[in-house]
Amino acid sequence: MSQTISRIAFIGLGVMGYPMAGHLARAGLEAHVYNRTMSKADAWVERFGGHRHATPRQAAEQADLVLLCVGNDDDVRHVTLGDDGVLHGMQAGSLLVDHTTASARLAETLDTACRERGIGFLDAPVSGGQQGAENGALTIMCGGADADFALVEPLLAHYARAINLMGPAGSGQLTKMVNQVCIAGLIQGLSEGLHFAERAGLDQTRVMEVISQGAAGSWQMENRHRTMIDDEYDHGFAIDWMRKDLAICLEQARHLQARLPVTALVDQFYADLQAMGGGRWDTSALLRRLRAFD
C-alpha cells in the first residue's frame, strides 16, 4: 500500500458525494470524478476544479485512492466490478473506500476482489445526511484492515467529525445497520409522542423543550421536532432511501436470526407513506401518517 495519497477518484456526486468530494478538492488533492449524470460532474469540476471522466474505470486510473458514494448494491457492483468499473483501472497498492450504505456481503465480496488485485479496501458508510456532508460533520463507520484505515483516516477527516474502525470488512456496514434500526425506532417514538401531546391539548413545543433535557432527548428530537410539528418534510433523508436501508437490515437480520419486530413494523409504516406519495419526504414524516387517521 502506498504511503502517500495525492491523486483521488470520487465516484458518485449525489447529495452526499458532491460536497464530500468538494472537501477533498479544497484540501489540495488532485481530484478525478465520475457521475452517471455527466452534467453534474461538469458542474462539480467548474466549481472545484479537477477532472471529469466518462467511466469509473477512467477516473480510477493512476489514482492512489478511489472513493464511492452511490445508491445501492447494484450501483456499487456496476461501478466496481462492471466492465468499466474502477477495479479494472486501479493499480496494485491503491485503496478503495466505499461510502455507500450497502450490504455486508457485498463489502466482503469487494474486499476479496480487491485483495486478489493487491488493492486495499474499506467499507465506510456514513451517517449525518446532506447537512453533515456539507458541513464536514459526518460519522463514518469502517470495516477493513488497520493499516488501510490508518492511511485514509486523515483524508476522511476533511468531511467527518467521527471516524471509527469497527472490525474486518463488512463491519462498517453492519454498524450502519444498527444505526438505521435505532433511528427507525426513535423517529416512530418521537412521532407517537408528538401525536399524543397534540391530542392531549399540550403545547408540543414546550413539551419537547422539557423532555429533551432528560432521558428522552435525542438528535432526532432536537433537530426534527419543530418541522414535524409544522408538518414540513421537504428536506433531510428520503423515505425511499430509508426503506432501501431497512431492507438491508431486515435481510441481514434473517441471516443472523436476529429479531427486529419494531424495525419491520416501522418499515411498513414507511411503505404506507410511500403509498401516500411521500417517497421523497423526510423520514420524520411518520407523524404525518398518524395525523392521517385524525
As annotated, the active-site residues are 176
194-206 b/e (C-beta count within 10 Å ≥ 16 → b): bbebbeeeeebee
Residue bearing cell 399524543: 196
Vertex 220 angle, CA 100 and 234, to 5° = 70
